[in-house]
C-alpha cells in the first residue's frame, strides 16, 4: 500500500519511521519531507500547504492512506479536499481543526462545554486590550489567535511586557493575519503535561503521557519555542489526572463539537497545566505534537496502522495500542539564534554515529541535503530530535545525551536539563 505523509518536521519523520516499521511494509512518500524521511521513503517537492498539488498527486498515484502531519494544511481543509476525492485521510476536517486554528474558537468551545481552562477575553483593539491587562493579575498570557508556528504566545511577567506583546501583534503585524486578534488569558499555575488522544468521531483512546519543554533556555527561561525536548511517561499524569482528562476535557469537548455539527476524527493534543491533580487546558492542537510525538511513538509497541484505520473507520479501541515499559527522552538540537534569526545550510556531522547509540533514533526536523546531495545540512530552526529509550528515565537520558554530544554543526544549541522536574521527583522519592 502507498502512504503519503504530509509535512517536513520531526513529527513527520517520526510518523514515517513508525509506518516504515509496520508489518505490512507500506511504500512511503513524504511531501516535502526532510533528509531523515528520505531514508525511509520518497520525498516529493510539493509544499505541505499545496492543496491543489497534493490533490493532483493523489489522483495520479492513488495512495491507500494520507497522513496529514502539520496544522496549517489541516486548517486549510486538506482533509476535506482529499476525502471529497475518495481518499482515506488521517487528520481532522477543517471545521474540527479550528480548535487549533483559532484560540478564540477553542476557548468558546471549552467555556460552553465546561472544560477546565483559564479565564480569557479576546481583542482586536490594542488600547482596549492593554486596559484589560490592568484589571488582571500578572503574569498574564498574550496569544495570537491564529496559527503562528508555536511562536505567538507571550507569558508577560510585567504589564509593560504585556503591552509590548499586544501592540506587536495588533499594531506591529508581528504574526501577520494570525495576530490580527489576540486572546488574553489568566496565567495558570502548575506543571505542564501533554496528552495526545486518537478519536474516531465517537471513541477516545488516550496515548502515553509526555511533558514538553517550551522555553529556549534551561530552568525554563527565555522565549517560547516549538519545543526543546520531551519525555514519556510523565508521572504527574497519574490515574486520577488521566480520568479527569478523559471525562472533563475530551468527552466534554467532543460533546460540544457534536452539538455544533462537528465530527472530530484524528489526533487531538491537549496541552495541560496540572495543579493538585486537577488538569486545566492551556491549548488544543489538531495534530500530533512535536517533539512529544518522537517521545511517544518510540514507546508504541507494534503496528500503528490498525489504530489509524480504526480512527478513519470509526472502529477505534484500546486494544489497538500497546506500550513498551521503557521510558523515552527526546532532546532537540536547534540552530544558533533560534527562535530568532538563524543560519541555514550548515553541514551536520556524525549523524551515523549518533544513530548507532543503543536504543536511539535521530529524528530529523529542519534538515535538507547539500547541493552535492551527499551532505545533510540545516534547513530550519529546530534541526534534530535525538530520541532514546531506556529501562528508566536516567538510562534514556544518558543515551540521548551521548548521541547529542556526538553530533556537531556550527551554532548547535540544546538544553541539558530535559526532564528536570521528573528527575527531582525521582530524587525526592
Q: Which three cell numbers stand for residue 210?
A: 509526555
Residue 427: the pLDDT is: 86
Distance CA 16, CA 304 (A): 11
Angle at 318 between CA 315 and CA 322, to 5 degrees: 125
pLDDT averaged over consecutive 10-residue blocks of the chain (429 residues)?
A: 97 98 97 97 97 98 98 97 98 98 97 98 96 96 88 90 95 89 96 96 97 94 91 97 97 98 98 97 95 98 98 97 98 96 95 97 95 87 98 98 98 97 88
Secondary structure (3-state) at 211: strand
3-state secondary structure 161-172: HHHHHHHHHHCC
Residue 36: the pLDDT is: 97
Distance CA 287, CA 300 (A): 17
Residue 91 has phi, psi (to 5 degrees) of 150, 145
Cis bond before residue 291 (omega within 30° of 0): yes
Distance CA 281, CA 429 (A): 28
Give residue-wise pLDDT tens across range 394-422: 999 999 999 999 999 999 999 999 999 99
Answer yes or no: are the C-beta atoms of 118 and 185 closer than 8 Å: yes
Instruction: Look up the pTM and report it.
Output: 0.96
Answer yes or no: are the C-beta atoms of 264 and 257 closer than 8 Å: yes
What burial class does residue 119 get, using C-beta atoms within 10 Å of its C-beta: 0-12 exposed, 13-18 middle, 19+ buried? exposed
Fold of 125-180: Dna Ligase; domain 1 (3.30.1490)
Q: Which three cell numbers stand for residue 74?
A: 489541516
What per-residue string of b and e applies to 299-309 under the rule 16 or more CB within 10 Å gives b?
bbeebbbbbbb
Q: Where do runs of H (alpha helix) occur along 158-231?
A: 159-170
> What are the sequence ranges of the domains in the chain?
2-93, 125-180, 191-428
Nearest to 197 by CA among 237, 235, 226: 237
- Distances in whole angstroms, Cα of residue 305 to Cα of each of 15, 190, 203: 11, 35, 17
Residue 373: the pLDDT is: 72
Residue 149: the pLDDT is: 73
Distance CA 302, CA 1 (A): 18
CATH code of the region 191-428:
3.30.470.20
Strands (E), 157-264: 182-186, 191-200, 204-206, 211-212, 215-217, 221-224, 229-232
Q: Which three cell numbers stand for residue 384?
A: 534534530
Residue 379: the pLDDT is: 96
Give residue-wise pLDDT tens across range 237-267: 999 999 999 999 999 999 999 999 999 999 9
Residue 80: the pLDDT is: 98
Domain 2-93: top CATH class: alpha beta
Residue 425 has phi, psi (to 5 degrees) of -60, -40
Distance CA 404, CA 216 (A): 17
Q: Distance of alpha carbon 220 from its chain centroid, rounded?
A: 18
Give residue-wise pLDDT tens across range 39-73: 999 999 999 999 999 999 999 999 999 999 999 99
Amino acid at each position: 500500500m502507498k502512504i503519503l505523509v504530509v509535512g517536513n518536521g520531526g513529527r513527520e519523520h517520526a510518523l514515517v519511521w513508525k509506518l516504515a516499521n509496520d508489518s505490512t511494509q507500506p511504500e512511503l512518500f513524504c511531501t516535502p519531507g526532510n533528509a531523515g524521511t528520505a531514508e525511509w521513503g520518497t520525498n516529493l517537492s510539493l509544499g505541505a500547504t499545496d492543496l491543489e498539488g497534493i490533490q493532483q498527486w493523489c489522483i495520479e498515484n492513488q495512495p491507500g492512506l494520507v497522513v496529514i502531519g502539520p496544522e496549517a494544511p489541516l486548517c486549510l481543509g486538506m482533509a476535506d479536499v482529499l476525502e471529497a476525492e475518495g481518499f482515506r485521510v488521517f487528520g481532522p476536517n477543517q471545521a474540527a481543526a479550528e480548535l487549533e486554528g483559532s484560540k478564540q474558537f477553542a476557548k468558546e468551545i471549552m467555556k460552553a462545554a465546561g472544560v477546565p481552562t483559564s479565564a480569557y477575553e479576546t481583542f482586536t483593539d490594542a488600547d482596549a486590550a492593554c486596559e484589560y491587562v490592568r484589571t488582571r493579575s500578572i503574569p498574564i498570557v498574550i496569544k495570537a489567535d491564529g496559527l503562528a508556528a508555536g511562536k505567538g504566545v507571550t507569558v508577560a511577567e510585567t504589564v509593560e511586557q504585556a503591552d509590548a506583546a499586544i501592540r506587536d501583534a495588533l499594531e506591529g503585524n508581528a504574526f501577520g493575519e494570525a495576530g490580527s486578534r489576540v486572546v488574553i488569558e489568566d496565567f495558570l499555575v502548575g506543571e505542564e503535561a501533554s496528552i495526545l488522544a486518537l478519536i474516531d468521531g465517537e471513541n477516545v483512546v488516550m496515548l502515553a503521557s509526555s511533558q514538553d519543554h517550551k522555553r529556549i533556555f534551561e530552568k525554563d527561561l527565555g522565549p517560547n519555542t516549538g519545543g526543546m525536548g520531551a519525555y514519556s511517561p510523565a508521572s504527574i499524569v497519574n490515574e486520577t489526572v488521566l480520568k479527569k482528562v478523559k471525562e472533563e476535557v475530551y468527552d466534554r469537548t467532543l460533546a460540544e463539537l457534536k452539538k455544533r455539527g462537528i465530527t472530530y476524527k484524528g489526533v487531538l493534543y491537549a496541552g495541560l497545566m496540572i495543579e493538585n491533580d486537577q488538569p486545566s487546558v492551556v491549548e488544543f492542537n489538531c495534530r500530533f505534537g512535536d517533539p512529544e510525538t518522537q517521545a511517544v511513538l518510540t514507546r508504541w509497541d507494534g503496528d500503528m496502522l490498525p489504530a489509524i484505520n480504526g480512527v478513519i473507520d470509526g472502529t477505534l479501541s484500546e486494544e489497538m495500542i500497546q506500550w513498551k515499559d521503557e521510558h523515552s527522552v527526546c532532546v532537540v538540537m536547534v540552530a544558533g539564534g533560534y527562535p530568532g534569526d538563524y543560519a541555514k545550510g550548515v553541514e551536520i556531522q556524525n549523524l551515523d554515529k549518533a544513530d548507532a547509540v543503543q536504543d536511539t533514533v535521530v529524528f530529523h526536523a529542519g534538515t535538507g541535503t547539500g547541493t552535492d546531495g551527499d551532505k545533510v545540512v540545516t534547513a530550519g530552526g529546530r534541526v534534530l530530535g535525538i530520541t532514546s529509550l531506556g529501562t528508566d528515565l536516567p538510562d534514556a537520558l544518558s543515551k540521548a545525551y551521548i548521541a547529542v554530544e556526538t553530533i556537531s554543526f556550527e551554532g548547535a544549541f540544546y538544553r541539558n536539563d530535559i526532564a528536570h522536574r521528573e528527575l527531582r521527583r525521582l530524587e525526592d522519592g
